[in-house]
Amino acid sequence: MIRALTQDDIPTLLALFEQVGHEAGWIPRLEFNAEHIANHLATFIHRDNVLAVGAQAGPGEPLCGLLIAEVGSPWYSPTRIASERVFYVHPVYRRHGFASALITCYREWADAQGVAEKTIGNGLGLQPDGVRALCESQGFTPIGYIFKQL
């Protein structure tokens, strides 16, 4: 089930972000600071033009995934676009339809916002082939790459 995130979800989200950090490899390279993450999550949850949704296996179950996106204009155009900021599903819950459901929710929300385009990425670099196939199955076309220097 997909539902809106609330302030009450922040402790569970912090656990998900710690999992993200270990899986993506930015922990221990980068500092994990729960207060920093919680403050940013709180602003996303309450900001206009933001979609903040989580996935649950069932009522009363902890969140197993999330997607946060926002609508805005890029620096090079006044045209409004929707951009995914955070998209993650815990490894135990992958290939169970949660990622597809989160993306479907994002696409429907973005369409309702009247945006010219929607973007979604894999900045974490996790399972690139699987994420690419998932996004393409949802109607997204890959454009470009992300390059990182450590």
Tell me the pLDDT tens digit for each residue of 58-110: 988 999 999 999 999 999 999 999 999 999 999 999 999 999 999 999 999 99
Rounded Cα–Cα distance for residues 90 and 50 (Å): 22
For the chain, the domain total comes to: 1
In this predicted structure, the answer to whether residue 144 has a pLDDT above a threshold of 90 is: no
CB 33 within 8 Å of CB 87:
no
CATH number at residue 56: 3.40.630.30
Tell me the pLDDT tens digit for each residue of 3-21: 999 999 999 999 998 988 8
Tell me the pLDDT tens digit for each residue of 108-118: 999 999 999 99
Residue 69: its pLDDT value, please? 96
Q: Is residue 144 part of a domain?
A: no
E runs forming strands in 15-139: 50-56, 63-72, 81-89, 117-119
Domain residues for the domain of 99 are 2-137
Q: Is residue 92 part of a domain?
A: yes
Query: Tokens standing for 6?
Result: 């609330």
Q: Is residue 109 part of a domain?
A: yes
Rounded Cα–Cα distance for residues 59 and 46 (Å): 23
Q: Is residue 41 part of a domain?
A: yes
Q: Is residue 147 part of a domain?
A: no
Q: How confident is the model at residue 35 (pLDDT cuts 50, 70, 90)?
A: very high
**pTM confidence score:** 0.91
Q: Is residue 149 part of a domain?
A: no
Query: Tokens standing for 129?
Result: 């082939």
Give the DSSP letter string of 105-135. Answer: HHHHHHHHHT-SEEE---TT--SHHHHHHHH
